[in-house]
Structure 1
Amino acid sequence: MANHKSAKKMMKVIAKRTLVNKMRKSKTRTAIRRLVDIIKSGDKENVVLAFRNAESNLHKCVNKGVIHRNTAARKISRLNAKVKALMTA
């Protein structure tokens, strides 16, 4: 347990920040999961919107420091390849 006033405050701040980061990460994972489901179903109309949503969420996570930029770039690249494969098929 923290003894100093500043350390006690930081514990509260860290707890709040952790919750926000978990929410952001969860929202991003949900967007990616929805995109993958749309790709599997073969819905060409909604795949572009779902990809934009997933990409936007990943970029937001990078800007907020939730995930590393290379991780986001890798995920976006792989999702984009799947979307392109669906669109050309």
Structure 2
Amino acid sequence: MKNHPEIVKLHIIGHTDSAGGAEHNQKLSDARANAVMEALRSRGATQTMDAVGKGESQHLCSEDTDDCHQKNRRVEFVIEAG
């Protein structure tokens, strides 16, 4: 992030698979997004950032396989450049 001053804002979005309950997954995805934001801040990122969890609401795939579950457990970045 230090090498990319064109990034003025970063939205960090956490996701989970469908294992566990919806409330648990929401909390997990919030924690996942916040952990990434804090890791970036601790490494010197100064851009404006926000973190939000989407729980299990935005799956990339819906098969009941380990590979699919792994794809759904992710963090996405939405970059606003100036």
TM bracket (short chain) = 0.3 to 0.5
- More strand, by proportion: 2
Larger radius of gyration: 1
Higher relative contact order (CA 8 A, sep 6+): 2
> TM-score when scaled to structure 2?
0.36
- More helix, by proportion: 1
